[in-house]
Every structure is written in structure tokens, then in C-alpha cells.
Copies of this chain bind each other. A is one copy, B any other.
Amino acid sequence: MLKRERQEFILREVNLHNRVLTSDLSEAISVSEDTIRRDLSELADSGKIIKAHGGALSRSFHTSFQANSVYSHDKKKCIAQKAVTLLRDGQFILSGGGTTITELAKALPATLQATFFTGSLPAAIEYIQHPSVDVIFIGDRISKNSRITVGGDAIEKINQINADICFLGINALDMEKGLTDNDWDVVQIKKAMIRSSKKVVALTIAEKLNTQQKIKVAGLEELDMIITELDSDDKLLDPFHRAGIQIL
């Protein structure tokens, strides 16, 4: 069996069963466990699976686990620091939800004078504490999971806005599938925000790069800029560079 063929077999097994054991694979393909381990390492390096002691797990199965650890807090602060450099006095800014955006709200320069539109409760709480920014809350039903407003009224309001820049905290970004999410209502809001903004900036920690979720929000071509905690010349970001997206 060819190496390539073997790795594709492993990948199928992982995605089918959500987990595989090194020992099972070794027996099934009749190669040594060392070889399987090397294959798993390569697949894990290219982000296709998650390696674990004794075998590997599928990415989709693993996403709930890796999100929102306390260690990502520093990364999100770093992202917020970069993002605020894009802000200018007098701008009209659309702001999505999520912990990264809330960090951005905490990191606003003290003298900024701008108008923020948001449907995120935690972000609004932070924005409103700033002495000189105006906050317009986009009302509607509040989603329990994401703590942002969702629904037709909210989308209608967003459609009336013509913002200079839009900051979106995102859950999954992939070269092939673009921007994806797992909550239908939230996706509708994000799409509306992208439509209503001249410039779209996606904020995300690097571990969400090259991951996919179930519902498409936008293609890569709709994004103007990506901000992560990595240096802009990190090799993980190369594909996005080549796609013509600015990296900060």
C-alpha cells in the first residue's frame, strides 16, 4: 500500500469513527505502529487530525474541547491590541460578538471618538464604559449561546447602517470553505454585518485557522483583513497572504 493511499485511509477512518487507535490501524493495514505514528504525526502537522496518546481524534470532534481555554486569553488580548490600531476618530464601527471582540472593547484608546454598533451584550458593556464613544445597541432576541442579538429586526437595523469598518470574531476560517460557523441565526447576523461595512476585519486565534464548521458565512474574497496573535510572516498565514488578504 502506498504511503499516500495509507494516509487517506487513515483520514477516512478518523473522520468516520471520530477516533482511531494506533494499534488498530497498524493491524488493519499490516504495517508497524511506528509507521502509523509517523503518518498520524504528518496528518496532525497539516491540521487534518488531532494526535493523542494512543491514536488520534477527528477535528470536528475536538473543537468543543480546544475552545476558550484560559491560555487563549492572552492571545486574544494581543489580537485586540493589534485591532485597535485600525480605529480612527469619527468612524462608524460595526462590532460582532465573542470573547475576542470583548477584549477589543476593553482595549480602546482612551481618547477615541467613534460610534460603535453592536448586538453583543458583553461588548456593549465594555464600550459604554469608554468616556467618549457612542454605542448603538442593535436590539432583538438574544441568543443564549453567543449572547448577541439575532433575528429579523436586528438584520433590518444592520442593513440600515453603512459602516466604515466591521470587526468580526470568528469560529472557523479555512482556505477552501472560507468563514464558517455553527449557529444559523448568528450566521445571518454576520452576513448582514459584512454587507453593511466597507471593510471587514476578522479576528481569531491561530488555532481556529484551517478549521471548518457547518454553515458558510462568507468566502475569503469578502474579507479584507485577518488579525491573529501570530506574526504576519508566520507560515500558517501564507495561504491567506496569497489570497490577497491583509494580515496584521
A119 at the binding interface (Cβ < 8 Å): yes
Given contacts A48-B68, A128-B142, 19 further A-B contacts (CB under 8 A): A2-B21, A2-B54, A4-B50, A4-B57, A4-B62, A5-B19, A5-B52, A5-B57, A8-B57, A8-B61, A12-B64, A48-B69, A121-B121, A121-B124, A124-B142, A125-B125, A137-B139, A139-B139, A139-B153
A136 at the binding interface (Cβ < 8 Å): yes
Q: How far is the CA of A53 from the CA of B6 in the complex (A)?
A: 12
Within 8 A of B (CB), among A73-126: 119, 121-122, 124-125
A11 at the binding interface (Cβ < 8 Å): yes
Q: Which residues of B contact A138 (CB under 8 A)?
A: 139
Flag if A2 contacts B53 (CB, 8 Å): yes
Q: Indicate how many identical chains form the complex.
A: 2
Flag if B128 contacts A125 (CB, 8 Å): no
Flag if A57 contacts B2 (CB, 8 Å): yes
Cβ-closest 8 pairs across A and B: A139-B139, A47-B70, A4-B52, A135-B142, A137-B139, A46-B69, A138-B139, A8-B65
A157 at the binding interface (Cβ < 8 Å): yes
Q: Which residues of B contact A40 (CB under 8 A)?
A: none
Flag if A157 contacts B136 (CB, 8 Å): no
A175 to chain B, nearest CB (A): 26
Q: Which residues of A contact B (CB under 8 A)?
A: 2-5, 7-8, 11-12, 19, 21, 46-48, 50, 52-55, 57, 61-62, 64-65, 68-71, 119, 121-122, 124-125, 128, 134-142, 144, 147, 149, 153-154, 157
Flag if B136 contacts A142 (CB, 8 Å): yes
Q: Do most interface residues of chain A lie in helix, strand or loop, or is the interface mixed?
A: mixed
Flag if B141 contacts A135 (CB, 8 Å): yes
Flag if A139 contacts B122 (CB, 8 Å): no
5 A-B residue pairings within 8 Å (CB atoms):
A4-B65, A124-B142, A135-B141, A138-B139, A139-B154
Flag if A62 contacts B144 (CB, 8 Å): no
Flag if A157 contacts B139 (CB, 8 Å): yes
A184 to chain B, nearest CB (A): 17
Other-chain residue from B21, B125, B136 in contact with A140 (beta carbon distance below 8 A) = B136
